[in-house]
């Protein structure tokens, strides 16, 4: 059913070459990261004193760092961490947000009230600041960054699902179906899924970009992901030290990797929204 709902999406996307490009870029990066061991021209930790701080050249397309490590290889390997955490955080937030949202929507009353007050409190923090505080509290690790980002994202899905449930409850056919004897949960899923799925897909796509940015910013300021898991944000931070001596490639390319990935996710998310959001349909 979900697949069927998405097939027009696919048709729409295919017409939008920009989104295709974005999708291809993400696929390329994901594939390269997954197969980093085979794809990357060098091992990420291979040092070469003779080629230290080399400008981008034919052997090292994106140059090398102070140890002569190949920047391109390190960026590709870093993609593993970046994309995994972004995907993991988004998935975790989606699952928890939707489940709790269903609970809030179904039980209403006091349960809903408590849940929504918690949501309000979480949303009272700018997301990045909260992610920062949570990471600081839990300690630096990939898992903790993932959890921190997920927590800041949960309210989005929760509210989305909850309002969708409230909307369905209001609808007459839901009443009719109840009279016919469909159990409440079945009813929910029959009606909820097709209605709530599109906005959740849009939200999830955009959240991938957000998660990448947050994670990069966290490790840029020294929180979050620590080497040996090289990560684009911390690589940018390392590279920043070499601006003064003119080794621009060290900060530029890891940052560019972030920009390209986030841009791709946002472009896809935007196209999906244009298509899936009925208010925007046919605008262009």
Judged by the rule CB under 8 A, the positions of this chain that interact with another protein are 45, 47, 49-50, 53-55, 66-67, 117-118, 120-122, 124-130, 132-134, 136-140, 209, 213, 216-217, 220-223, 226-228, 233, 236-237, 239-246, 248, 251-252, 255, 258-259, 262-263, 266-267, 270, 284
Nearer to another protein, 52 or 176 (CB): 52
Stretch (H or E) spanning 198? helix 184-220
Interatomic CA distance for residues 146 and 12, integer angstroms: 32
Nearer to another protein, 193 or 260 (CB): 260
CB of 82 to another protein, least distance (A): 12
Residue owning tokens 């929910």 = 188
Burial class (CB in 10 A: 0-12, 13-18, 19+), 91: middle
CB of 145 to another protein, least distance (A): 14
Nearer to another protein, 139 or 183 (CB): 139
Strands (E) across 121-230 are located at none
Nearer to another protein, 19 or 168 (CB): 19
Nearer to another protein, 94 or 152 (CB): 152
- What is the tally of helices (H) and strands (E) in the chain? 11, 0
CB of 248 to another protein, least distance (A): 6
Interatomic CA distance for residues 217 and 262, integer angstroms: 13
**43 three-class SS:** coil
CB of 119 to another protein, least distance (A): 9
DSSP one-letter code for 55: P
Strands (E) across the chain are located at none
Interatomic CA distance for residues 85 and 149, integer angstroms: 9
53, 66 Cβ separation under 8 angstroms? yes
CB of 247 to another protein, least distance (A): 9
Nearer to another protein, 120 or 175 (CB): 120
Nearer to another protein, 163 or 182 (CB): 163
CB of 126 to another protein, least distance (A): 4
CB of 213 to another protein, least distance (A): 6
Backbone angles phi, psi at 64, to 5 degrees: -130, 165
């Amino acid at each position: 059913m979900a697949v069927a709902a998405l097939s027009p999406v696919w048709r729409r996307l295919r017409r939008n070459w920009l989104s295709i490009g974005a999708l291809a870029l993400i696929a390329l990066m994901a594939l390269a990261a997954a197969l980093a061991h085979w794809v990357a021209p060098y091992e990420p930790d291979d040092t070469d004193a003779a080629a230290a701080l080399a400008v981008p050249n034919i052997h090292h397309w994106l140059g090398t760092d102070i140890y002569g490590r190949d920047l391109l290889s390190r960026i590709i390997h870093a993609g593993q961490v970046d994309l995994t955490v972004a995907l993991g955080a988004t998935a975790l937030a989606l699952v928890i947000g939707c489940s709790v949202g269903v609970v809030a929507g179904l039980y209403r009353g006091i349960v809903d009230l408590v849940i929504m007050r918690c949501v309000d409190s979480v949303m009272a923090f700018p997301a990045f600041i909260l992610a920062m505080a949570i990471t600081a509290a839990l300690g630096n690790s990939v898992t903790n960054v993932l959890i921190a980002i997920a927590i800041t994202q949960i309210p989005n899905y929760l509210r989305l699902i909850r309002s969708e449930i409230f909307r369905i409850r209001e609808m007459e056919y839901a009443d009719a179906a109840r009279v016919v004897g469909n159990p409440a949960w079945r009813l929910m899923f029959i009606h909820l899924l097709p209605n709530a799925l599109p906005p959740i897909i849009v939200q999830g796509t955009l959240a991938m970009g957000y998660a990448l940015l947050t994670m990069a910013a966290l490790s840029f300021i020294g929180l979050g992901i620590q080497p040996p898991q090289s990560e684009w944000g911390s690589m940018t931070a390392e590279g920043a030290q070499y601006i003064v001596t003119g080794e621009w490639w060290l900060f530029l390319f890891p940052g560019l990797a972030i920009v390209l990935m986030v841009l791709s996710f946002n472009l896809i998310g935007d196209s999906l929204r244009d298509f899936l959001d009925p208010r925007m349909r046919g605008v262009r």
